[in-house]
Amino acid sequence: NNFLAAALPSATYKVIDRVTALRSAGAQIISLSAGEPDLDTPEFVREAGIAAIRSGHTRYTQVAGLRSLREAIAAKFLRDNGLDVDWHNTLVSNGGKQIIFNALAATLNEGDEVIVPTPYWVSYPEIVQLCGGKTVAAQCSAESGFKLTPKVLEAAITSRTRWLILNSPSNPSGAVYSPAELKALANVLLVHPQVLVLSDDIYEHLVFDGQTFFTLAQVEPRLNERVLTMNGVSKAYAMTGWRIGFGTGPKWLIEGMEKLQGQQTSGACTISQYAALAALTGPQDFIVQSRAVFQRRRDMVVSAINRIPGLHCKVPQGAFYAFASCEGLIGKTTPAGTVLYNDEDVVNALLDEAGVATVHGSAFGMGPYIRIAYTLDDDSLAQACQAMHIFCHSLS
Ligand code: PLP
């Protein structure tokens, strides 16, 4: 199929495959490439999964998910985001990724445009491509904090624009939009009624320095009928392998997504749905603890990066990534004799010669940068930063 042929495999999975191959050949690699918390799923959530198996909750659920989970999702949207959601207008999927896929597959016609601000999560343009759409990359600069501005948004909108994808906190930049910034974007969107908005809030709970998270539909209720708010348990409760994501949006859209999912994967894993129900309705202290852990690691990693010659990083406000410019390394030669022409060369050399795995920024639509995921313990992070420092220092 032409759409498939033109799509790229995930750049992050590619790095992970290389790390696995190097490790099985005996190399010591510290991987800063994984987009998942290294923490364990909270004990009570795991127990809820086990209890679901023991109680025989091992059959299909409705396509859109267990009613109890959908009610808990509606309650979560009210509790955390001030969104008054009817549980009928929620959908449970196999990870947030399937919510995105469902939404785009249900709505895009060939050639429809999807505005994706750079730097973006690697999967957005590929999902757009697989659904027959065309990605319009809206260039956001480091000066604007890697955030979309009303001016750039306005310039990117055409009569073919079907979606805008917003991701705050952002993977890979860690940028977090303030209510005022969201409001300013909303003002542009209000005059372009053909544009739907996907608000990818998967990193919602990982915001630092005492900031409060806001989502678009909360800031501008007049956009309610056009916003799909997506979230999930992967990052918030360290549940990446359970594969539960969810969304809420206009009835027609949720129904279309459900129809599609019904012919594709059916309802998400029943056991995982029970575990997600426990996560959303149980004590929320894991969120507070993991936020503190990641903020401490961020501080450590960002200050270490900013001491490395040739690397430079803004302080990210959320998620668990540092997005560092490696412009100062371009054109240099490694001890093994490799010339670093671009950020992919930097990432490959860091892997081969320093034993540290990162992901090149150009895979996220913005080079020359590297994305560093601080999803490891303090000692490993310190070791990785030291290895990167020695490597960068050794370039000529
Ligand atoms: N959105 C963003 C920005 C992500 O980084 C990820 C995972 O890496 C997802 C969505 C999907 O997460 P999941 O499918 O595990 O819910």
pLDDT, tens digit, 9 for 90 and up, residues 158-208: 999 999 999 999 999 999 999 999 999 999 999 999 999 999 999 999 999
For position 7, what pLDDT does the model report? 80
Looking at the predicted structure, is the pLDDT value of residue 157 above 90?
yes
Average pLDDT along the chain: 96
CA of 361 relative to ligand 1 center, distance in Å: 17
- What architecture (CATH level 2) is domain 2-40+286-393? Alpha-Beta Complex (3.90)
Q: How many angstroms separate the alpha carbon of residue 171 from the centre of ligand 1?
A: 9
- In this prediction, residue 57 carries a pLDDT of 98
The first and second tokens of residue 217, run together, are 């539909």
CATH number 3.40.640.10 given to 43-283: yes
Asked if residue 256 lies in contact with residue 271, where contact means CB atoms within 8 angstroms, the answer is no
Instruction: Compute the average pLDDT of residues 279-289.
Output: 97
Give me the mean pLDDT over the 24-40 stretch.
Answer: 92
* Pocket of ligand 1 contains residue 12 by CB under 6 Å: no
Task: Provide the residue type at 332 as one letter.
Answer: K
The answer to whether the CB of 232 is under 6 A from ligand 1 is yes
Nearest to 218 by CA among 177, 258, 257: 177
For ligand 1, the distance from its centroid to the CA atom of residue 96, given in whole angstroms, is 6
CA–CA gap between residue 140 and residue 149 (Å, rounded): 8
Which residue type, as a one-letter code, is found at position 51?
A: A
Question: Element (H or E) spanning 356, and its range?
Answer: strand 356-357
Q: Residue 215: which of 72, 55, 76, 45 has the closest Cα?
A: 76
pLDDT confidence tier of residue 100, bands split at 50, 70 and 90: very high
Distance 254 CA to ligand 1 centre (A): 19
The answer on pLDDT for 349 being more than 80 is: yes
pLDDT of residue 322: 98
Residue 98 CA to ligand 1 centre (angstroms): 9
> In this structure, are strands 312-313 and 245-248 parallel, antiparallel, or unpaired?
unpaired
Cβ-based neighbours of 309, under 8 Å, separated by 6 or more? 328, 392, 393
User: What's the CA gap between 202 and 42, in Å, rounded?
Assistant: 18
Assess whether the C-beta atom of 96 lies below 6 angstroms from ligand 1.
yes
Do 2-40+286-393 and 43-283 share a fold?
Answer: no
Q: Residue 64: which of 99, 104, 30, 33 has the closest Cα?
A: 99
Domain coordinates in residue numbering, the chain: 2-40+286-393, 43-283
| Contact (Cβ atoms closer than 8 angstroms) between residue 274 and residue 76 | no
Return the best residue to mutate from 38, 91, 121, 242 for the ligand 1 pocket (most ligand atoms within 8 A of CB). 121
How much is the ipTM here?
0.99
Model confidence band, residue 1 (pLDDT cutoffs 50, 70, 90)? confident
Q: Under DSSP, is residue 202 helix (H, G, I), strand (E, B) or coil?
A: coil
Q: In the chain, which residue ranges form alpha helices assigned H by DSSP?
A: 2-6, 11-24, 43-54, 67-81, 95-107, 123-130, 150-156, 179-190, 216-219, 251-262, 270-281, 285-305, 343-349, 378-393
Spacing, Cα 202 to ligand 1 middle (Å): 6
pLDDT confidence of residue 12: 79
Give 395's pLDDT tier (boundaries 50, 70, 90): very high
Write down the pLDDT at residue 13.
80
Q: Is 365 in the pocket of ligand 1 (CB under 6 A)?
A: no
Residue 16 buriedness (CB in 10 A; 0-12 / 13-18 / 19+): middle
Q: Which atom of ligand 1 is nearest to 121's Cα?
A: 3
The tokens describing 311, both together, are 């690397």
CB distance 174 to ligand 1 below 6 Å: no
CB 348 within 8 A of CB 355: no
- Does the Cβ of 375 fall within 6 Å of ligand 1? no
pLDDT at 217: 98
Q: Band of the pLDDT at 283, cuts 50, 70, 90?
A: very high
- Asked whether the beta carbons of 3 and 132 are under 8 A apart, the reply is yes
Between CA 68 and CA 179 the distance in angstroms is 31
pLDDT of 52: 98
Does 84 have pLDDT greater than 80? yes
- The pLDDT assigned to 49 comes to 98
Q: How far is the CA of 245 from the centre of ligand 1 (A)?
A: 9
Beta-carbon count within 10 A of 58 CB: 11
pLDDT for res 3: 80
